Amino acid sequence: MIKHLQTIFCASAIAVLLLGTAANAQAQITRVDSGGQSVGFNLGYFAVRGEDSRATGDVLLADLSDFEPLAFDVKDFNGATIGGEWLFALGDYLEGGVGVGFYRRTVPSVYANVVNDNGTEIEQDLKLRVIPMTATVRFLPAGRGGVEPYVGAGFGAFNWRYSEVGEFVDTSDYSIFRDRYIADGTAFGPVVLGGVRFPVADVWTVGGEIRWQKAEGKFDDDVRLLGDRIDLGGVSASVTFHLRF
């Protein structure tokens, strides 16, 4: 997870620094004077919590440690994200924000120690989708306008859906059957973030952001998945673009 985040963060930092340098080459950085509001979007990479730090009862851990475990890596669920947000001033050094994002990842898997009678793999698709809806407050130590480093925190509602679809082994008699197991819901948890924004035009900014989240989706009693929850925590790194007005 750290390796992926370092790659994404370095790429984001290089892009941001190049754009900031281009803006400086034309003139000194101009403070963007606006009504204190902006809309933006972001493109990034989400790294889920690793196997050693996931919540007790997590379905992925259960799949990996079952009597007949599946063969996949938790890091296979790392993937791209996209999102949008609205930011508004709460003073010279504070701003509020509301945003929504989207992440979806499908991980192919097989049983680690069992195969079909004809020697072929017993295959499944594990799929996780998360739509985070967040409300945050940011502190801008240098104020609004110009180069804007910031840190912030808030709360998120994480709409999620997890499914396992394909072939499975009945461990009572080792018969193989097809089925699908689906769970969904909305989980709540904290969000912590930090980043920096650079002006590249009168009303446009570009930047980079690191965001940490923690939440757990609980399964209903009638869901026939191993484990009783899905850990939705992790860290994302993204490039951000904002239009001020």
- Judge whether 145 lies within some domain: yes
DSSP secondary structure letter of residue 58 = B
Longest dimension (CA), the chain: 75
Number of domains observed in the structure of the chain: 1
Q: What is the mean pLDDT of residues 50-74?
A: 97
| Tokens coding 51 | 């196997």
**Would you say 239 and 15 are in contact if contact means Cβ atoms under 8 Å apart?**
yes
Q: What is the mean pLDDT of residues 45-57?
A: 97
Q: For 29-43, 106-120, 142-156, 168-182, which range has the lowest pLDDT when averaged over its residues?
A: 29-43
- Judge whether 20 lies within some domain: yes
- Judge whether 242 lies within some domain: no
Q: For 30-44, 102-116, 132-146, 190-204, which range has the lowest pLDDT when averaged over its residues?
A: 30-44
- Judge whether 31 lies within some domain: yes
The pLDDT, as a whole number, for residue 117 is: 92
CATH number, domain of 211, equals 2.40.160.20
The pLDDT, as a whole number, for residue 201 is: 85
Task: For residue 145, name the pLDDT band (cuts at 50, 70, 90).
Answer: confident
Task: Examine the pLDDT at 124 and tell me if it is beyond 70.
Answer: yes
Task: Examine the pLDDT at 21 and tell me if it is beyond 80.
Answer: no
Task: Tell me the pairing of strands 234-244 and 204-213.
Answer: antiparallel
CA angle 13, 19, 24 (to 5 degrees): 120
CA angle 228, 72, 53 (to 5 degrees): 55
The pLDDT, as a whole number, for residue 208 is: 98
Question: Which helix (H) or strand (E) segment is 233 a member of?
Answer: none
- Judge whether 133 lies within some domain: yes
**Chain segment 25-41, per-residue pLDDT in tens:** 333 444 444 568 999 99
Averaged confidence pLDDT in the chain: 89
Task: Examine the pLDDT at 244 and tell me if it is beyond 90.
Answer: yes
- Percent of the chain clearing pLDDT 90 (strictly above): 82
- Judge whether 236 lies within some domain: no
| Tokens coding 169 | 């082994």
**Chain segment 219-229, per-residue pLDDT in tens:** 999 999 999 99
How far apart, in Å, are the Cα atoms of 165 and each of 32, 72, 191?
51, 15, 31
- Judge whether 238 lies within some domain: no
- Judge whether 33 lies within some domain: yes
User: Looking at the chain, how many residues does it have?
Assistant: 245
Question: Which helix (H) or strand (E) segment is 179 a member of?
Answer: strand 175-199
Instruction: Domain of residue 28: give its range.
Output: 2-224
Residue 93 three-state SS: coil
Which pTM value belongs to this model? Answer: 0.85
The pLDDT, as a whole number, for residue 162 is: 98
